[in-house]
Structure 1
Amino acid sequence: MQIDDIDRRLLRLYQSDPTLSAAELAEAARLPRATAWRRIERMEAAGVITGLEAVIDWRRLGFAVEVALRITLDKTERNAFDTFLAAARGVPEVTEIQTFLGRVDVRLNVLARDMGHYQEIYRARILTLPHIADIEQLMLISDVKTDEALPL
Protein backbone atom coordinates (compact mmCIF):
# COMPACT_ATOMS: atom_id res chain seq x y z
CA MET A 1 0.00 0.00 0.00
CA GLN A 2 1.28 3.44 -0.89
CA ILE A 3 0.90 6.15 1.72
CA ASP A 4 1.18 9.85 1.10
CA ASP A 5 2.05 12.84 3.30
CA ILE A 6 -1.52 13.11 4.59
CA ASP A 7 -1.47 9.43 5.63
CA ARG A 8 1.88 9.98 7.35
CA ARG A 9 0.47 12.98 9.22
CA LEU A 10 -2.50 10.90 10.36
CA LEU A 11 -0.23 8.04 11.40
CA ARG A 12 2.04 10.36 13.41
CA LEU A 13 -0.97 11.77 15.24
CA TYR A 14 -2.54 8.35 15.74
CA GLN A 15 0.76 6.93 17.06
CA SER A 16 1.13 9.75 19.55
CA ASP A 17 -2.42 9.31 20.89
CA PRO A 18 -4.50 6.39 19.60
CA THR A 19 -7.39 7.42 21.87
CA LEU A 20 -8.16 10.47 19.73
CA SER A 21 -11.70 10.45 18.41
CA ALA A 22 -12.27 10.76 14.66
CA ALA A 23 -13.21 14.41 15.14
CA GLU A 24 -10.09 15.16 17.22
CA LEU A 25 -7.84 13.33 14.77
CA ALA A 26 -9.34 15.20 11.82
CA GLU A 27 -9.00 18.54 13.59
CA ALA A 28 -5.37 17.91 14.54
CA ALA A 29 -4.59 16.82 10.95
CA ARG A 30 -6.53 19.78 9.53
CA LEU A 31 -8.75 17.47 7.47
CA PRO A 32 -12.49 16.94 7.13
CA ARG A 33 -13.62 14.29 9.62
CA ALA A 34 -14.90 11.93 6.92
CA THR A 35 -11.61 12.13 5.01
CA ALA A 36 -9.50 11.44 8.07
CA TRP A 37 -11.65 8.50 9.16
CA ARG A 38 -11.81 7.04 5.62
CA ARG A 39 -8.00 7.13 5.40
CA ILE A 40 -7.61 5.50 8.84
CA GLU A 41 -10.09 2.76 7.85
CA ARG A 42 -8.21 2.21 4.56
CA MET A 43 -4.91 1.82 6.43
CA GLU A 44 -6.55 -0.59 8.90
CA ALA A 45 -7.99 -2.66 6.04
CA ALA A 46 -4.57 -2.77 4.35
CA GLY A 47 -2.90 -3.94 7.57
CA VAL A 48 -0.82 -0.78 8.03
CA ILE A 49 -2.62 -0.19 11.34
CA THR A 50 -3.03 -3.54 13.05
CA GLY A 51 -4.75 -2.49 16.26
CA LEU A 52 -4.50 -0.63 19.52
CA GLU A 53 -2.98 -1.97 22.70
CA ALA A 54 -2.59 -0.90 26.29
CA VAL A 55 0.97 -0.26 27.44
CA ILE A 56 1.28 -1.52 31.01
CA ASP A 57 4.19 -0.57 33.25
CA TRP A 58 5.20 -3.99 34.54
CA ARG A 59 7.34 -2.43 37.28
CA ARG A 60 4.24 -0.90 38.89
CA LEU A 61 2.72 -4.38 39.03
CA GLY A 62 5.61 -5.73 41.10
CA PHE A 63 7.94 -7.05 38.41
CA ALA A 64 11.45 -5.75 39.12
CA VAL A 65 13.62 -8.02 36.94
CA GLU A 66 13.79 -8.19 33.15
CA VAL A 67 16.21 -10.57 31.48
CA ALA A 68 16.90 -11.12 27.79
CA LEU A 69 17.97 -14.65 27.01
CA ARG A 70 19.92 -15.24 23.81
CA ILE A 71 19.55 -18.88 22.95
CA THR A 72 21.36 -21.07 20.45
CA LEU A 73 19.46 -24.23 19.61
CA ASP A 74 20.73 -27.72 18.90
CA LYS A 75 19.50 -27.91 15.34
CA THR A 76 20.51 -31.54 14.82
CA GLU A 77 16.93 -32.43 15.75
CA ARG A 78 14.54 -32.22 12.83
CA ASN A 79 11.91 -29.86 14.30
CA ALA A 80 14.06 -28.17 16.95
CA PHE A 81 12.87 -24.63 16.16
CA ASP A 82 9.18 -25.47 16.07
CA THR A 83 9.32 -27.62 19.20
CA PHE A 84 11.30 -25.01 21.12
CA LEU A 85 9.04 -22.12 20.07
CA ALA A 86 5.88 -24.01 20.97
CA ALA A 87 7.26 -24.77 24.44
CA ALA A 88 8.56 -21.21 24.97
CA ARG A 89 5.13 -19.77 24.14
CA GLY A 90 3.79 -21.73 27.10
CA VAL A 91 5.98 -19.92 29.67
CA PRO A 92 3.80 -17.09 31.04
CA GLU A 93 6.77 -14.97 32.14
CA VAL A 94 8.17 -14.91 28.60
CA THR A 95 6.84 -11.65 27.19
CA GLU A 96 8.63 -11.63 23.86
CA ILE A 97 10.08 -14.22 21.50
CA GLN A 98 12.22 -13.29 18.50
CA THR A 99 14.06 -15.51 16.04
CA PHE A 100 17.29 -14.59 14.25
CA LEU A 101 19.68 -15.70 11.56
CA GLY A 102 23.21 -16.01 12.89
CA ARG A 103 24.91 -17.48 15.94
CA VAL A 104 21.93 -16.70 18.19
CA ASP A 105 18.73 -18.42 17.09
CA VAL A 106 16.16 -17.06 19.55
CA ARG A 107 15.81 -14.21 22.03
CA LEU A 108 13.36 -14.54 24.90
CA ASN A 109 12.38 -11.64 27.13
CA VAL A 110 11.53 -12.77 30.68
CA LEU A 111 9.92 -10.77 33.50
CA ALA A 112 10.15 -11.74 37.17
CA ARG A 113 9.17 -10.20 40.51
CA ASP A 114 12.72 -10.45 41.91
CA MET A 115 15.92 -12.45 41.49
CA GLY A 116 14.56 -15.40 43.49
CA HIS A 117 11.52 -15.56 41.24
CA TYR A 118 13.74 -15.29 38.15
CA GLN A 119 15.89 -18.15 39.42
CA GLU A 120 12.74 -20.29 39.82
CA ILE A 121 11.59 -19.44 36.29
CA TYR A 122 15.04 -20.07 34.84
CA ARG A 123 15.53 -23.44 36.51
CA ALA A 124 12.00 -24.80 36.26
CA ARG A 125 10.79 -23.36 32.95
CA ILE A 126 13.64 -22.09 30.80
CA LEU A 127 16.25 -24.79 31.31
CA THR A 128 13.60 -27.44 30.63
CA LEU A 129 12.81 -26.04 27.18
CA PRO A 130 13.82 -28.50 24.46
CA HIS A 131 16.85 -28.34 22.16
CA ILE A 132 18.86 -25.65 23.96
CA ALA A 133 22.57 -25.77 23.10
CA ASP A 134 23.63 -22.48 24.72
CA ILE A 135 22.09 -19.61 26.69
CA GLU A 136 23.40 -16.13 27.37
CA GLN A 137 21.56 -14.07 30.00
CA LEU A 138 21.44 -10.30 29.76
CA MET A 139 19.84 -8.54 32.72
CA LEU A 140 18.22 -5.19 32.05
CA ILE A 141 19.84 -2.40 34.04
CA SER A 142 17.97 0.57 32.56
CA ASP A 143 15.79 1.57 29.63
CA VAL A 144 17.65 4.28 27.75
CA LYS A 145 15.12 4.57 24.93
CA THR A 146 11.88 2.71 24.40
CA ASP A 147 9.82 4.05 21.57
CA GLU A 148 7.38 2.05 19.49
CA ALA A 149 6.61 5.00 17.23
CA LEU A 150 7.88 4.87 13.67
CA PRO A 151 9.77 7.90 12.32
CA LEU A 152 7.08 8.95 9.81
Structure 2
Amino acid sequence: MIDLDDIDRTLMRALVGDASQSTGALAKKVGLSQPVAWRRIKRLEESGVLSGRRISLNAEALGFGVTVFLGVKLATKGRVSLEDFERAVTAIPEVQTVRHVLGLYDYRLRVVARDLPDFERVLRRRIMTLPGVGNVEANVLLSEERRPGPIG
Protein backbone atom coordinates (compact mmCIF):
# COMPACT_ATOMS: atom_id res chain seq x y z
CA MET A 1 0.00 0.00 0.00
CA ILE A 2 1.32 3.42 -0.98
CA ASP A 3 1.41 6.41 1.37
CA LEU A 4 -0.70 9.23 -0.11
CA ASP A 5 -0.55 12.88 0.90
CA ASP A 6 -2.88 15.77 0.05
CA ILE A 7 -0.93 16.64 -3.11
CA ASP A 8 -1.24 13.04 -4.38
CA ARG A 9 -4.99 13.15 -3.73
CA THR A 10 -5.33 16.50 -5.52
CA LEU A 11 -3.40 15.12 -8.50
CA MET A 12 -5.65 12.05 -8.60
CA ARG A 13 -8.84 14.15 -8.45
CA ALA A 14 -7.56 16.35 -11.28
CA LEU A 15 -6.69 13.31 -13.41
CA VAL A 16 -10.04 11.66 -12.75
CA GLY A 17 -11.72 14.89 -13.89
CA ASP A 18 -9.64 15.11 -17.08
CA ALA A 19 -6.87 12.60 -17.78
CA SER A 20 -5.80 14.48 -20.92
CA GLN A 21 -4.27 17.38 -18.96
CA SER A 22 -0.58 18.02 -19.47
CA THR A 23 1.79 17.45 -16.58
CA GLY A 24 2.54 21.19 -16.65
CA ALA A 25 -1.15 22.04 -16.19
CA LEU A 26 -1.46 19.51 -13.37
CA ALA A 27 1.67 20.87 -11.70
CA LYS A 28 0.25 24.39 -11.79
CA LYS A 29 -3.00 23.19 -10.17
CA VAL A 30 -1.19 21.65 -7.21
CA GLY A 31 1.61 24.20 -6.88
CA LEU A 32 4.52 21.98 -7.96
CA SER A 33 7.14 22.19 -10.65
CA GLN A 34 6.47 20.09 -13.75
CA PRO A 35 9.28 17.55 -13.02
CA VAL A 36 8.10 17.01 -9.43
CA ALA A 37 4.48 16.54 -10.56
CA TRP A 38 5.64 14.11 -13.26
CA ARG A 39 7.61 12.06 -10.68
CA ARG A 40 4.58 11.90 -8.38
CA ILE A 41 2.29 10.78 -11.21
CA LYS A 42 4.86 8.19 -12.31
CA ARG A 43 5.06 6.88 -8.70
CA LEU A 44 1.24 6.60 -8.57
CA GLU A 45 1.23 4.70 -11.88
CA GLU A 46 4.05 2.35 -10.84
CA SER A 47 2.32 1.56 -7.54
CA GLY A 48 -0.90 0.67 -9.40
CA VAL A 49 -2.96 3.49 -7.87
CA LEU A 50 -3.33 5.05 -11.34
CA SER A 51 -3.95 2.70 -14.23
CA GLY A 52 -4.68 3.70 -17.80
CA ARG A 53 -6.09 6.84 -19.30
CA ARG A 54 -9.60 6.68 -20.71
CA ILE A 55 -11.82 8.68 -22.98
CA SER A 56 -15.52 8.62 -22.12
CA LEU A 57 -17.96 8.51 -25.00
CA ASN A 58 -21.23 10.39 -24.67
CA ALA A 59 -23.86 7.75 -25.46
CA GLU A 60 -26.61 10.36 -25.98
CA ALA A 61 -24.51 12.34 -28.47
CA LEU A 62 -23.97 9.07 -30.37
CA GLY A 63 -27.73 8.49 -30.57
CA PHE A 64 -28.14 6.12 -27.63
CA GLY A 65 -30.78 7.84 -25.49
CA VAL A 66 -31.63 4.94 -23.19
CA THR A 67 -29.42 3.19 -20.64
CA VAL A 68 -30.74 0.11 -18.86
CA PHE A 69 -29.20 -1.87 -16.03
CA LEU A 70 -30.07 -5.54 -16.30
CA GLY A 71 -29.90 -8.08 -13.53
CA VAL A 72 -29.42 -11.50 -15.13
CA LYS A 73 -29.95 -14.75 -13.23
CA LEU A 74 -28.61 -17.78 -15.05
CA ALA A 75 -30.95 -20.74 -15.30
CA THR A 76 -28.11 -23.24 -15.02
CA LYS A 77 -25.09 -23.05 -12.79
CA GLY A 78 -21.62 -24.33 -13.47
CA ARG A 79 -18.31 -23.12 -14.79
CA VAL A 80 -19.11 -23.87 -18.43
CA SER A 81 -22.35 -21.89 -18.42
CA LEU A 82 -20.64 -18.85 -16.84
CA GLU A 83 -17.88 -18.83 -19.44
CA ASP A 84 -20.35 -19.37 -22.30
CA PHE A 85 -22.57 -16.55 -21.05
CA GLU A 86 -19.66 -14.14 -20.55
CA ARG A 87 -18.20 -14.85 -23.99
CA ALA A 88 -21.59 -14.37 -25.68
CA VAL A 89 -22.69 -11.26 -23.77
CA THR A 90 -19.42 -9.40 -24.31
CA ALA A 91 -19.93 -9.81 -28.07
CA ILE A 92 -23.12 -7.69 -27.97
CA PRO A 93 -22.16 -4.10 -28.89
CA GLU A 94 -24.97 -2.51 -26.87
CA VAL A 95 -23.69 -4.12 -23.65
CA GLN A 96 -21.22 -1.63 -22.16
CA THR A 97 -20.32 -3.40 -18.93
CA VAL A 98 -20.64 -6.96 -17.64
CA ARG A 99 -20.25 -7.45 -13.90
CA HIS A 100 -20.33 -10.88 -12.28
CA VAL A 101 -21.91 -10.24 -8.87
CA LEU A 102 -22.99 -12.01 -5.72
CA GLY A 103 -26.63 -11.65 -4.75
CA LEU A 104 -30.06 -12.07 -6.28
CA TYR A 105 -28.65 -11.96 -9.81
CA ASP A 106 -25.48 -13.50 -11.25
CA TYR A 107 -24.67 -10.57 -13.55
CA ARG A 108 -25.33 -6.85 -13.79
CA LEU A 109 -25.18 -5.47 -17.32
CA ARG A 110 -25.18 -1.86 -18.50
CA VAL A 111 -26.95 -1.75 -21.87
CA VAL A 112 -27.42 1.26 -24.16
CA ALA A 113 -30.06 1.57 -26.87
CA ARG A 114 -31.39 4.26 -29.18
CA ASP A 115 -34.82 4.20 -27.51
CA LEU A 116 -37.09 1.76 -25.63
CA PRO A 117 -38.22 -0.15 -28.77
CA ASP A 118 -34.54 -0.58 -29.70
CA PHE A 119 -33.80 -1.82 -26.16
CA GLU A 120 -36.68 -4.30 -26.43
CA ARG A 121 -35.18 -5.61 -29.68
CA VAL A 122 -31.74 -6.02 -28.05
CA LEU A 123 -33.31 -7.73 -25.04
CA ARG A 124 -35.49 -10.16 -27.02
CA ARG A 125 -33.15 -10.98 -29.90
CA ARG A 126 -29.74 -10.82 -28.29
CA ILE A 127 -29.79 -11.05 -24.50
CA MET A 128 -32.67 -13.46 -23.87
CA THR A 129 -31.20 -15.88 -26.42
CA LEU A 130 -27.83 -16.09 -24.65
CA PRO A 131 -26.75 -19.45 -23.18
CA GLY A 132 -28.09 -20.07 -19.69
CA VAL A 133 -30.23 -16.92 -19.30
CA GLY A 134 -33.03 -17.42 -16.78
CA ASN A 135 -34.60 -14.42 -15.03
CA VAL A 136 -33.91 -10.84 -16.11
CA GLU A 137 -34.75 -7.60 -14.30
CA ALA A 138 -34.45 -4.24 -16.09
CA ASN A 139 -33.94 -0.83 -14.49
CA VAL A 140 -34.00 2.18 -16.83
CA LEU A 141 -31.51 4.92 -15.96
CA LEU A 142 -33.24 8.25 -15.32
CA SER A 143 -30.22 10.34 -14.37
CA GLU A 144 -26.61 9.80 -13.38
CA GLU A 145 -24.10 11.70 -11.29
CA ARG A 146 -20.50 10.79 -11.98
CA ARG A 147 -18.26 10.71 -8.93
CA PRO A 148 -14.57 9.87 -8.73
CA GLY A 149 -15.04 7.56 -5.75
CA PRO A 150 -13.03 7.56 -2.55
CA ILE A 151 -9.55 8.98 -2.77
CA GLY A 152 -8.05 8.06 0.59
- Contact 1:77/1:131, CA 8 A, preserved across alignment: no
Letter in 1 for 2:89: A
1:88 matched residue in structure 2: 89
Rounded to whole Å, the distance in 2 between the matches of 1:138 and 1:4 is 38
Query: Offset at 1:132?
Result: 1.3
Unaligned runs of 5+ in 1: none
1:53 matched residue in structure 2: 54
Instruction: Normalising by structure 1, report the TM-score.
Output: 0.89
SS in 2 for 1:47: coil
Instruction: Normalising by structure 2, report the TM-score.
Output: 0.89
1:119 matched residue in structure 2: 120
- Is 1:69 matched with 2:74? no
Rounded to whole Å, the distance in 2 between the matches of 1:78 and 1:9 is 43
- Give the 4+ runs in structure 1 shifted more than 6 A: none
1:146 matched residue in structure 2: 146
SS in 1 for 2:96: strand
Unaligned runs of 5+ in 2: none
SS in 2 for 1:59: coil
SS in 1 for 2:69: strand
- Contact 2:65/2:113, CA 8 A, preserved across alignment: yes
Percentage identity across paired residues of the two chains: 35
Query: Offset at 1:59?
Result: 0.8
Cα RMSD after superposing both structures: 1.6
The alignment covers a number of residue pairs equal to: 150
- Contact 1:74/1:131, CA 8 A, preserved across alignment: yes
Letter in 2 for 1:150: G
Letter in 2 for 1:98: R
